[in-house]
């Protein structure tokens, strides 16, 4: 499937663009040093993005298997199941811990909620999840129109990435004011 090969390149391009934006718009202090809070924010949002993607990839595989993807009994099938379980078991709790820590930081320092990096993270993650959700819907509709066999992998992808999109969409509506969330609407 062509999409499976394009997704890493799309994610890499989005991350590269985010890094370029952060470096280009980094606030400089007195002697030319970079603001330490901006660097910390960049890495915490990058970590959260990676954990979200890892968790969604693991959930996609697990939900696809649950919905009927043929899982052969070979070593490759066992490897894929183990990888999916590891992605979810490690990625989900760590992602929740990072979100909890960020939420506590926002309560202590309200400027955290006004950070442009929060807007960038929510925009990139929401649009990434939206693209993968639309791809899954497209695959399911193509299978339904062609009267072919039910694509359980696409259904798992729809559930995992659609859920991730919904969570980030709700976070955008709650955390960002109307003008900072407009980029997502335009991109979507």
The tens place of each residue's pLDDT in the chain, 188 residues long, gives 445 555 666 666 666 666 666 556 554 444 455 677 778 888 899 999 999 999 999 999 999 888 876 666 566 678 888 899 999 999 999 999 999 998 888 888 887 777 888 888 988 999 999 999 999 999 888 888 876 777 888 899 999 999 999 999 888 888 776 666 566 666 66
pLDDT at 2: 46
Strand partners, 29: 33
pLDDT at 103: 87
Give the global pTM. Answer: 0.76
Specify the residue for token string 């990058």: 46
Cα separation, 188 vs 173, in Å, equals 15
pLDDT at 62: 92
Q: Taking each helix axis from N to C terminus, what angle separates 152-175 and 36-67, rounded to the nearest 10 degrees? A: 150
Other Cβ atoms within 10 Å of 84 Cβ, number: 20
pLDDT at 70: 64
pLDDT at 38: 79
pLDDT at 1: 47
pLDDT at 40: 84
pLDDT at 26: 54
pLDDT at 113: 78
Q: Counting beta carbons within 10 angstroms of the beta carbon of residue 148, is it exposed (0 to 12), middle (13 to 18) or buried (19 or more)? A: exposed
């Amino acid at each position: 499937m062509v999409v499976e090969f394009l997704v890493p390149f799309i994610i890499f391009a989005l991350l590269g663009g985010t890094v370029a934006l952060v470096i280009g718009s980094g606030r400089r202090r007195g002697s030319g040093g970079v603001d330490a809070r901006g660097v910390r924010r960049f890495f915490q949002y990058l970590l959260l993005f990676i954990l979200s993607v890892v968790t969604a990839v693991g959930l996609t595989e697990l939900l696809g298997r649950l919905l009927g993807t043929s899982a052969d009994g070979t070593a490759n099938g066992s490897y894929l199941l183990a990888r999916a379980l590891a992605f979810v078991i490690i990625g989900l709790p760590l992602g929740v811990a990072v979100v909890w820590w960020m939420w506590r930081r926002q309560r202590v320092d309200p400027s955290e909620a006004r950070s442009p990096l929060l807007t960038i993270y929510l925009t990139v993650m929401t649009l990434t999840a939206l693209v993968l959700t639309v791809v899954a819907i497209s695959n399911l509709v193509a299978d339904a129109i062609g009267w072919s066999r039910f694509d359980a992998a696409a259904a798992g992808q729809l559930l995992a990435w659609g859920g991730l999109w919904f969570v980030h969409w709700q976070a955008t509506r709650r955390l960002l004011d109307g003008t900072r969330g407009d980029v997502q609407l335009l991109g979507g």
